[in-house]
Structure 1
Amino acid sequence: MVTHPFHPLCGRELPVLFERRTRRGLWFVCEVDGQQRVTLRQEWTDRGAPAGEQRLSADGLTALREVADALLGRRDSATLVGE
């Protein structure tokens, strides 16, 4: 079953034709309505780890920006808004 919330086939059960493992993870090649094929990351299906139910809050994003700025050697992230 496709579980990725933004995938157009979310909620659909698709037959897996075969699996393909790459350095980026496990992928499933599935059949849609007996006519076309779609490739899905394992994480986008019920065979992968469940997706997080909560998105980052504004405070979480601000803290993440501060960490990124510190790693990049930037001092004042407020001056970078809108660049």
Structure 2
Amino acid sequence: MVTHPFHPLTGRELEILYVKRRSFALVFVCASGAGRSVTLPQAWTDLGVAAEQHPLAVEGLCAARALVNALVSRGADQYGGGS
């Protein structure tokens, strides 16, 4: 199933014709109807990493922001100033 939120086929289950490796990642070549095929990175399907486990999920972004805030605060304290 296509899970990428901005892909036009999101939510559709496609038949995987074959799998290949591209730059250290798997991609699926899938039948998309009318004799056509579409190539999808594994991460854009339900066979990829779940969105909530991805580092760019909301939780991951919040954790990154908290780290940046802590580093900025530490730098301001250490060097006696602001930005």
Give the alignment's TM-score, normalised by structure 2: 0.62
CA RMSD of aligned residues (A): 3.1
Alignment size in residue pairs: 73
Q: 2:58 aligns with which of 49, 55, 59?
A: 55
Runs of 4+ in structure 1 displaced over 4 angstroms? Answer: 58-66
Among the aligned pairs, what percent are the same residue? 45
Structure 2: which 5+ residue stretches go unaligned? 73-82
Give the alignment's TM-score, normalised by structure 1: 0.62
Structure 1: which 5+ residue stretches go unaligned? 71-78
How far has the Cα of 1:61 moved from its partner?
Answer: 7.5
CA deviation vs aligned residue, 1:31-83 (integer Å, no higher than 9, x gap): 11142111000011011111138537x977766777xxx8xxxxxxxx9xxxx
- Higher helix proportion (structure 1 or 2): 2
